[in-house]
Amino acid sequence: MVKKIVICLLILVIAFSQTACSNAAKEIGEHTGVVIPKPKDGDATLTIMLNPEEYDALPANKFFRDYVDRFENNFGVEVRYESIGSSPGQLIEMEEQDEYIKELSMKLYAKNGPELIFSQFMPLGPIIRQGAAAKLNGKISNLDKVYDGLLDDEIYFVPISIRYYSKIINLEALKTTGMEEPDVDWTSHDHYEIRTKWLNANKIHFTSYEWYMAFESIVDLDKTYDSIHNRISLNTPITKKNIRDIRRYIFDGNYILNQNYKFENYYRMITEDNSKEFQESRDLFSQYEQSGHIESGRYENLLRTIDVYSNNYNYGTIMMPEYSNKEVMLSAGGFAINKNAKNSELAYEFINGLLSNEIQMQIFNDVEDGFYPANKDIEEDIKALEAEKVADERVLQTKEYVLNQIKNEHMKIWNAENLDFYNLKKMIEEDFIKIILADKEYADVELSAKLSELEKKYNIYLNE
C-alpha cells in the first residue's frame, strides 16, 4: 500500500518538475532586460563578481554593456559575470547577504576567484580589512581623475559613481511654521527646530517614522561611539539627559497619542512587521505623507541637480545635505580587485577605462539609477549642462557645497568602511525603546544600571 503511494507521488513530482522547464525560467535577461552572452572559448578571462541583488546596477545599463563589448574586442578577452546563480539561464535571488559573502570568500580563499568584485551597497570592508584586496596605488593611471576625498591613502576600493542621499524639507509644510528655509550648512539642531515647530502647528499621530526621526535627532547614537578605541559609552550624563528629553518630547504634547497604547503596543508598532500596531502606524504615515508632512517628497542623489530640480518642482520640496555637525557617508558603486587573481593587469585596464572622461560622462547622461560620476575632470562640462536646465540657484549651490566637501575632506564610503558599529545600531535602538517608551519612567539609579548593562553587552559585540 505504502509502495503504491510512494510511486504515485514520485510520478507526480516528476510531472510537476517538467512544468518548470516550460515555465519561463527566469532568464537573467528577463530579470534585468539584459542578455548575458554565453561564455566563448577564450584564453584570458576577466571575471566580475556581483551580488545578485546588485545585478541591476551594472549589466542593466547600456553604457556598461557597450563598454564591456569594446573592452572584449580591444583586449581579446572575455568578460564573465559571476554570482550565486550566475549561469546564463536561471537566476535564483538569494535573499541572504550571508550566503553571498560565504560564496565570495571561498573563492577568495581558493586563490582562483574573480578579478573584480563589484559593490554598490554590499559592504566590502571585511574583504579589505583582511587583506584580500589588492592595493591599487600607482597601478591605475586614471585614479588621478577621481575626487581626492573619495580615495583613502591606501587605495583598495575604486569608486566609479557616487550617490549622496539628500534630506527633504517640504516647502508647504515649512510655511506653516513661519521659519525661513534652512541654510545649506544646517545642523541637526536646525532640523530639530523646524520639525518641532511644525509638529506644534500640525498635530499628527505618533507613528514609527516619527519615533525614528525623534530618536535620531535627540538621542544621537553616533556621538556615543568612539571609533578609535572601538567602544561605546552609554552610561553618561548626556545620554541620560537625552533619554529624559525624548520621553518628554514624545509624551508631552507634540503628538496625538493613542490612549490605549501601552509599552507593548509601542514596541510592536516599531519592531514587529506583522502586528496590528505596525499596520496602523503605516497607514497613518501614508496619510500624512500625502497631505504635506514636513519631510514628504521624493528622495534623490543630491549631486544630480537636474533630477533634484525636477523633484523639487513636482513635490514642492527643497533638498538638503547631511547636517554639518555629522559625518557624511556616501554610497558608491565601485570595484575592489582580488589580490590573488590571475589577470590583474586586465582588471586594472578595465577600471582605468571606466574612469575615463568619456565613460564617466555617459554615467552622468545615461544611467537611470541616479549615480553621479566620480571623475573630477568632467566637472566643468557637467556644470555647463546643468546651467542650461536647472533654473534654481539654490540647487546648484547645494551641489557646490557638497562637491567642495568631497574635494577637500576625506569622505567615508559606505561600502568600504568598517561597519561594526552601524551593524549594531539598530539593535541598540531597539533596546532603547524599552527604556524610553516604558510605561513608567526609569529612575536615575535604574537607568544607570540598565545603561551599564547595555554598554557592556555592546562592547562585547563590538570587539568580537
Partner 1 sequence: MFERLKKLKISPFIIPSLVGFSVLYLVPFIWGIRYSFSRSGFDSTFVGYANYSEVLSSGAFRLALKNTGIFMSVAIPLIMILSFLLALAIYELKPPKLVYLFMMLPIAIPSAAAAGFFRKIIGTGAFSLMNSDYAMLGVILIFIWKNTGYNLIINMAGLLQLDISVIEASKIDGATYFQRLRHVIIPLCIPTTVFAGIVTIINSFKVFKDVYVLQGSYPNPSIYMLQHYMNNKFNDLQYEKLTSGAYIFALVIFVFAFLLFYIDKSYSKRVGDSI
Partner 2 sequence: MKKVFIGILIAISLLYIFPIAYTFTNSFMDEKQINSYYIETIPDQFNLQQYYSLALDKGEYFKFFLNSIKLTGVIIIGQIGIGIFAAFALAKLKFPGSNIIFAVYVLAVLLPFQVTLVPNYLVFDKLERLFDIQLLDTHLAIILPGVFSSFGVFLMRQFIRGIPNEIIEAARIDGASHIAILFKIVIPVIKPAIYSLVILTFIDNWNLIEQAIIFLDTPKKLPLSVFLENIYHEDYKVFFAAAVLYIMPALLILIKGEGYLKEGLVMGGLGNEK
Residues in touch with partner 2 (CB under 8 A)? 2, 6, 9, 13-21, 23, 25, 84-87, 89-96, 99, 102-103, 106, 109-110, 112, 268, 272, 274-276
The CB-of-357 to partner 1 minimum distance in angstroms stands at 34
Q: Does 457 bind partner 1 (CB under 8 A)?
A: yes
Rank residues 6 and 257 by Cβ distance to partner 2 and give the closer one. 6
d(CA 433, CA 307): 37
Phi and psi angles of residue 15, each rounded to the nearest 5 degrees, phi first: -60, -50
Q: Does 336 bind partner 1 (CB under 8 A)?
A: no
Q: What is the DSSP letter of 11?
A: H
**Cell numbers standing for residue 255:** 503628538
The CB-of-99 to partner 2 minimum distance in angstroms stands at 5
The CB-of-280 to partner 2 minimum distance in angstroms stands at 12
The CB-of-111 to partner 1 minimum distance in angstroms stands at 8
Rank residues 17 and 73 by Cβ distance to partner 2 and give the closer one. 17
Point out which span in 43-51, 208-216, 342-350, 419-427 binds partner 1 (CB under 8 A): 419-427
Residues 180-209 that bind partner 1 (CB under 8 A): none
Residue 186: how many other CB atoms lie within 10 Å: 20
3-class DSSP state of 439: coil
Site for partner 1 (CB under 8 A): which residue of 121, 263, 278, 315?
263
The CB-of-72 to partner 2 minimum distance in angstroms stands at 22
Rank residues 252 and 464 by Cβ distance to partner 1 and give the closer one. 464
Residues 77-116 that bind partner 1 (CB under 8 A): 98, 101-102, 105, 108-109
The CB-of-460 to partner 1 minimum distance in angstroms stands at 4
d(CA 72, CA 74): 6
The CB-of-223 to partner 1 minimum distance in angstroms stands at 22
Site for partner 1 (CB under 8 A): which residue of 244, 424, 425, 448?
424
Site for partner 1 (CB under 8 A): which residue of 188, 236, 340, 356?
340
Q: How far apart are the first and last CA of the chain?
A: 56
User: Which residues contact residue 338 at a Cβ distance below 8 angstroms, ignoring those fewer than 6 apart?
Assistant: 108, 113, 114, 115, 116, 117, 132, 133, 134, 344, 347
- Which amino acid does the sequence have at 223? K
264-268 long-range contacts (CB < 8 A, ≥24 apart) are 266/211, 266/433, 266/437, 267/433, 267/434, 267/437
**Site map (CB under 8 A) of partner 1, residues 147-166, x = contact:** --------------------
Residues 46-75 that bind partner 1 (CB under 8 A): none
d(CA 224, CA 406): 26
Q: Does 130 bind partner 1 (CB under 8 A)?
A: yes
Strands (E), 172-298: 204-205, 225-226, 231-232, 255-256
The CB-of-5 to partner 2 minimum distance in angstroms stands at 8
3-class DSSP state of 45: strand
Report the partner that residue 24 touches, choosing among partner 1, partner 2, none (CB closer than 5 to 8 A by kind).
none
396-404 long-range contacts (CB < 8 A, ≥24 apart) are 396/305, 397/184, 398/184, 398/302, 398/308, 398/319, 398/320, 398/321, 399/302, 399/303, 399/305, 399/308, 401/184, 401/185, 401/321, 402/164, 402/302, 402/303, 402/321, 403/147, 403/303, 403/379
Report the partner that residue 126 touches, choosing among partner 2, partner 1, none (CB closer than 5 to 8 A by kind).
partner 1
CA–centroid distance for 142 within its chain: 26
Q: Residues interacting with partner 1, by CB under 8 A?
A: 98, 101-102, 105, 108-109, 126-127, 129-132, 263-264, 267-268, 272, 339-340, 423-424, 427, 433-434, 457, 459-461, 463-464
